[in-house]
Structure 1
Amino acid sequence: MEGKEAASEKLIRQSQSLCAGEQDYVNRRKRVVLESLNSLEMNCTQDSVPHIALLASGGGQRAAVALVGSVYQMEKEGLLDTVLYLGGVSGSTWSMASLYSDPEWSTNMDRTLSRLSGPGVDLEKALAWLTERAKEEDFSLTDIWGVLTSAGIMKQMDLRRLSDEASRNATNPYPVYSAIEKHWKWFEVSPHEAGFTEMGLFVQTSLLGSKFENGELLEKKPEMDMVKLQGLCVGVCVCCVFSLLTKQVLPLIMKWEWGTTTNFLYQYQDSTVPPCLHSKDKFHLVDAGLLINVAYPSFLGDKRDIDLIIAPEYSAGNMFEVPDYAAELKRPFPEIDNQVLEDRDWPKDCYVFEGKGKEPTIIYMPLFNRQNCEAKMEEFSTFQRPFNQEKINVLVETAKANIRNNKETLLREINKAVLRRQNKRCVCGGIK
């Protein structure tokens, strides 16, 4: 049976530390970050490069479009190359998939921005992709959502595989996509690994979807493309536009399931794996925004050892559901100032939550705020048809303005992150 030669190799990694592939990529990316920090006249060495993550919230097409505006302006302000990681959930993963289709996107944001104004993908091409997926045993709503977001909103059909990025030159921040297993277990996917964050159980991304039993590879299957990966991450967020293609896709729908993929933990013998996971040969992934609408879980604690999180907020809800989650898992998280909760309906454009010890500092930046009150959230609600060009332009310009207006705050906190990393190095006698 295919895969028997690999059976003796330990294919499931159990650890709360980085895999070798991600560590190598991050080390190469740090050289880019170091050069950027030096250009900003920050006193930094290779050993004191801070771990900065840009974590974008969900929010459907609003988040997808606004994230493009945010990273565009960060690049123009010379800030993007200070970022080591880019993490997303739900709508922001649509942008991530689109961004990383260009191996050098972080040095040329104009191409990504122009794609939002492009002609889109022919319906026939999208349906042809669905027709091929319908032949597969795990064809589900995941495929419908993926093609709707890729073709209908991000205006491209990206057929590459995420693991392709593992061998690219590290000119971009390291990407981490997030979803949740339907029993509310956080699931992350990066170019090197996919797996359960809390349990620290991972499999190579190229093997996600292959058949396993008790940790052994029984049958290797082709890795999913980025269209399907977007479907895994977006879950219910695009059900509002489903009606646009109902007549065309309805004959293809064979079973109505969320995010079905083969379970690499099937019959895996380990006490950390709950029965709801190891007893089934498949599991279901849904929109991580249903649990926490920002990818915090993947970036808290020692694994990625984050100093600073830049958190642009594109969602319509409260992104600070996470403190209780972090406390339950004993993960460090800074204290949230009550002021931001009181300001929820009329927020400022930027808040800083200072991290202490192992807690990362968080720069929280609501998209709609009292500084740009002419832009109204209700005009850009999550559940509506794809935005017209006028709405896309407004979102992009609003997101760009938020970065531009808070450049000094970003620079100040980035510099403090450098000092923080230097202090860690002095205390620990070394650094990751």
Structure 2
Amino acid sequence: MFRAVLLRRMSTQLLPLLAPVIFTKTETGFPDRQVEKYPYYNLTVKVLRARNIHGTDLLSKADCYVQLQLPTASPITYRTRVIDSSSNPEWNETFQYRIHEPVKNVLHLTLFDEDVYVNEDLTDIVFDVEGMKPGQTMKNTFQLNPEAQEGLDVEFYLEKSSDPPTEVLTNGVLVAHPCLRLQGVVHKDKKSKLSEKGSCQVKLSVPGSCEKQLYAPCRLESDQDFRTPFVFHVDKEMCPELQVELEQTINVLQDEITFDQEKQSVLLGQGIVPVKSLPVGQEVDITVPLGEGQNLDVCVKADESTWDLDVRLSFDLCEEERKFVDKRKKMVSQALMKTLKLKEAPGKDEVPVVAVLGSGGGIRALTSLYGSLSGLQQLSLLDSTMYLCGLSGSTWCMSRLYKDTDWSSKDLQGAISDARDKVSGSKEGAFSSNQLKYYFHELGSIKNEGRKVSFTDLWGLIVEYFLFQKEDLSKLSDQQKAVSRAQNPYPIYAGLGVKHNFGSYEFAEWCEFTPYEVGFCKYGAFVRTEDFDSEFFMGHLVRKHPEPRICYLMGMWGSAFAGSLDDIYLQMVGSELGFLESLKDVIKVIDDGQQFRSQDKAQLKTRQIIPEGPVLHIFHDFFKSRITSWGTFNFMKGLYLHKDYVKNWNFLAWKGTHLDAFPNQLTPMEDSLSLVDGGFCINSPFPLVLQPERDVDVILSFDYSWGSPFEVLRLTQKYCDERHIPFPQIILSEEDVKKPKECYMFMDDKNPKVPIVLHFPLVNDTFQKYKAPGVERKSEDEKSFGDFVIQRKDSPYRTLNFTYEPYDFDRLVEVTRYNVLNNKTIFLKALNLALSRRKLKKGNEL
């Protein structure tokens, strides 16, 4: 793990040395976050011609045009003119961009065949402009179909801009530009000829801004001056402009019989204010001509932000977690001395970091985690645990536990008894008339706050009733009290960021929730938990919303209904819908016709995307789309991918067809986040504790999955192999697969940096014969209590069963508690080994 941390640190710290275009470098308090200054370049793209193009219309030749998108340089989508009925269209049209050196600038060139009904996307070229040499014209021939000799000729020219270099803040993966806040009012110009226009509205917009556009009604015939306030947050580097339009709304008769009318807007005039022309920090009055003697007055002030961002751009642990670890290690040291019967307490650097993982599994996981934690408590091992990380149903157990600020130091039997009452209680009240009114009232409040309401929100309220049978006003940030003295393990809750039309097995990004922060380790981007679900732009909090109650998070963390049809089929059958593979876009790495570009490893290869067609696209989306994912504002909105982001071990951009190789489609470029249950990827939150900054030595994996007891290990090993994360090899015998044991220990004897993994499948093995380790069952009641099969067709522990009989609840708690108690020797062996590794590591460092 130390190697992974070192490589990450080196990649960020050596970046200024490897890029001579950096003029200054300023420390920010984080070792992997720097303020750096980079120059601009002017990029000229000339679309020349296409050759041998075969359109989709069998009766005529293609009517082609080319669309250009470079969202890191301009929010505007450009396009050429249409060349009618030609297999060899020629445009010779030029487009200009100003690009910034630190950003990964990837141009999308899309060839369309214009049609009366649908403009058919024939092909899409994804071209990384990095590696082009300034002052040298590059003529690229993109080979679209070598066999048919189809091609697209494009000419590029790059030159250094006269604009002065600008500072950015970066962690090596994300880049933040300075943000401008435009605030002002629009009002009537007394000299303007507007009085006869009647009732109108002012439309204000800034392309690429956070707010996009706003409308305000005004009555121009009135003597009173209307004053329309506005606020826009913009990226000055995009060279934006404030667009002012005056529109008049008229009624148009749609049906002469019924006299139905439709409102249409007529543009009376428009004008622009270049944002670049505004002096920063100074209020100015500008008269905006709209044409034909019409004017509007604009009073505007532009303020530039500082580098004191509200989004933390760093891969290091947050300050609160670092303080927690320091405090907790002192407690763990004392606990280890007693548990392992040591002569003296280990030093701070010798204390092994232990993480407990709870898998998904609905109420089965909630119930089982109580038993596992109770077993750890009886062995005095809970005090040796640094992290408690949960996914799906395990998060429900954790959410209940952390309402008590000292839960781990109390006998868990009281918490277990309360959970039994809730799990075994009737759920009919969840759909009573009063409860339904409560749901609609709460969902209405969410909508009024400006957030999109989904089925997952309703599911969260239902889960709230299932687990508490009353309104729970607690929030995740309230759990700060439960870790402020390091009195309990540090809780980490897992979610997944997904894409609308991608299966979670194809693309998913782990999102972690803690009492202090919510964020994506992949991007090194985190926000305070109190600010989650608020609106951010370019790293700044622009609109504060209330922190969501934890019940809504529980609905998202444990929503079995947030999968696509393909996801659900995968969970039920064990494989995805094979025929969907044939409906996907075809992605190919192609020759871009330019052999003289640099061979920098961060430069993405040119790719061609051949779409499946509009009809098949609809069919594909039907099976891939998630209509119930939990949507929230994207706190990374307005941030860009760094030009060297692909060098970070979290990204799989080396797989040319993986979404990581398409930076314009990654999460920072989205307006909102789509979050789902982490179980749709790996049904255990291994990725969150395998972050090298957490430096975990021992992982206690409690798997409550329904089905294969080793699937989470197989998927985790694949995840780690792709990212070069240290993880032990999972080698199992046929007997293990057929009849799993209570506990398995996986480690690498030759590599002490690989964590020790103790894996506990959900099995009822020796518990059938023993009621406690070494104590056999004697009476018929005792034997009957232990004689049951957890996974059977008529099992009460099926994932979609939310009510257990008290007897069944107790059985599941007891078997998971027993499985821990019966493997005390393995626990002690793992702790002793981790302790000796830590001491050896400390000695080597000295």
Match of 2:463 in 1: 149
Once the two structures are superposed, residues 370-425 of structure 1 have per-residue CA deviations (whole angstroms, 9 ceiling, x without a partner) of 33463321211212342222221111011111111111211221222222222222
Is 1:384 equivalent to 2:777 in the alignment? Answer: no
2:791 is aligned with what amino acid?
M
Aligned runs of 1:122-133 on 2, under 5 Å?
Answer: 123=430, 124=434, 128=438, 131-133=441-443
CA–CA separation in structure 2 for the residues paired with 1:26 and 1:263 = 29
The one-character-per-residue Cα deviations of 1:208-253 (angstroms, maximum 9, x if unpaired) are 11101121211111111211111121121699xxxxxxxxxxxxxx
TM-score calculated relative to the size of structure 1: 0.88
Change (3 A) 1:424 1:188: same
Larger mean CA deviation between 162-171 and 99-108 belongs to 162-171
1:175 is paired with a residue of what secondary structure?
strand
Tell me if 1:71 matches 2:373: yes
Structure 2 Cα separation of the partners of residues 301 and 117 of structure 1: 35
1:228 aligned partner? 552
Segment of structure 1 superposing worse, 99-108 or 109-118 = 109-118
Contact preservation (8 Å) 2:332, 2:351: yes
Larger strand proportion of the pair: 2
Equivalent-residue separation in structure 2 for 1:13 and 1:117 (angstroms) = 40
**How far did 1:100 drift?**
0.6
The verdict on how the C-alpha distance between 1:7 and 1:204 changes in structure 2, with shifts beyond 3 A counting, is farther
What residue identity is the alignment partner of 2:637? Answer: Y
8 Å contact from structure 1 (residues 21, 166) kept in 2: no
1:13 paired residue number: 312
1:170 and 2:170 equivalent?
no
Q: CA deviation at 1:91?
A: 0.9
Moved more, 51-60 or 8-17: 8-17
Among residues 190, 196, 206, which one is paired with 2:514 in the alignment?
A: 190
**3-state SS of the aligned residue for 2:492?**
strand
Q: Does 1:325 align with 2:719?
A: yes
Q: In the alignment, what sits opposite 2:763?
A: 368
d(CA) in 1 for partners of 2:437 and 2:808? 27
Count of residue pairs brought into register by the alignment = 413
CA contact (8 A) 2:640 2:669 kept: no
Number of the residue aligned with 2:740: 347
Between 1:414-423 and 1:265-274, the stretch displaced more is: 265-274
Q: CA RMSD in A?
A: 2.6
For the pair shown, which has the larger CA radius of gyration, 1 or 2?
A: 2
1:136: Cα distance to partner? 1.5
Residue type at the aligned position of 2:547: E
1:125-158 Cα distance to aligned partner (Å, 9 max, x none): 6852552233213322222222232321465654
* Alignment-mate amino acid for residue 667 of structure 2: L
Using a 3 Å threshold, how does the CA distance of structure 1 residues 155 and 51 change in structure 2: closer, same or farther? farther
- Cα distance in 1 for partners of 2:844, 2:551 equals 45
Distance change (3 Å), C-alpha of 1:229 and 1:313: same
The answer to whether the 8 A contact 1:235-1:259 is kept is no
1:214 aligns with 2:538: yes
Paired AA for residue 230 in structure 1? M
Amino acid at match of 1:118: D
Residue deviations 1:34-82 (CA, integer Å, cap 9, x gap): 2211221135233311100001111111111100111012112211111
Instruction: Write the deviation string for residues 22-42 of structure 1: whole angstroms up to 9, x where unpaired.
Output: 111121122221221122113
Whether 1:396 aligns to 2:813 is yes
Identify the residue that residue 250 of structure 1 maps to in structure 2. Answer: none
Aligned counterparts of 2:726 and 2:759: Cα–Cα separation in 1? 17
SS in 2 for 1:136: helix
Q: What does residue 337 of structure 1 align with?
A: 731
Q: Map 1:8-87 onto structure 2 (within 5 A).
A: 8-40=307-339, 41-42=341-342, 43=344, 44-87=346-389
Cα distance in 2 for partners of 1:143, 1:106 equals 30
Structure 2: gaps of 5 or more residues: 1-230, 234-302, 500-507, 564-625, 646-662, 769-787
Instruction: Provide, for residues 245-292 of structure 1, a one-character-per-residue CA deviation record: whole Å limited to 9, x for no partner.
Output: xxxxxxxxxx95311111101121233465342333211100111101
Q: Which has the higher helix share?
A: 1
Matched, 1:425 2:813: no
Give the 3 Å change call, closer, same or farther, for CA 161–401 of structure 1 in structure 2.
Answer: same
Is contact 1:87-1:295 (8 Å) kept? yes
TM-score (normalised: structure 2):
0.46
C-alpha contact (below 8 Å) 2:493/2:513 kept by paired residues: yes
- Equivalent-residue separation in structure 2 for 1:155 and 1:39 (angstroms): 41
Q: 1:341-394: CA deviations, max 9, x gaps?
A: 752341011110014332110001112143346332121121234222222111
Structure 2 residue aligned with 1:407: 824
8 Å CA contact 1:262–1:283 kept in 2: the answer is yes
Distance in 1 between the 2:670 and 2:813 partners?
43
Preserved CA contact (<8 Å) 1:101 1:158: no
In the aligned structure 2, how far is the partner of 1:64 from the partner of 1:237? 18
Structure 1 pair 145/265, CA: closer, same or farther in 2 (3 Å)? same
Instruction: Give yes or no for the alignment of 1:110 onto 2:500.
Output: no
Q: Which one-letter code corresponds to 2:721 in the other structure?
A: A
Moved more, 407-416 or 116-125: 116-125
Question: What amino acid sits opposite 2:542 in the alignment?
Answer: L
**Identity in percent:** 31
Farther-moved stretch of structure 1 (176-185 vs 267-276): 267-276
In the aligned structure 2, how far is the partner of 1:126 from the partner of 1:307?
47
Inter-CA distance 381–45: structure 2 relative to 1 (3 Å threshold) = same
Query: Which amino acid in 2 is paired with 1:28?
Result: K
Displacement after TM superposition at 1:323 (Å): 0.9
In 2: Cα distance, 1:117 partner to 1:372 partner: 21
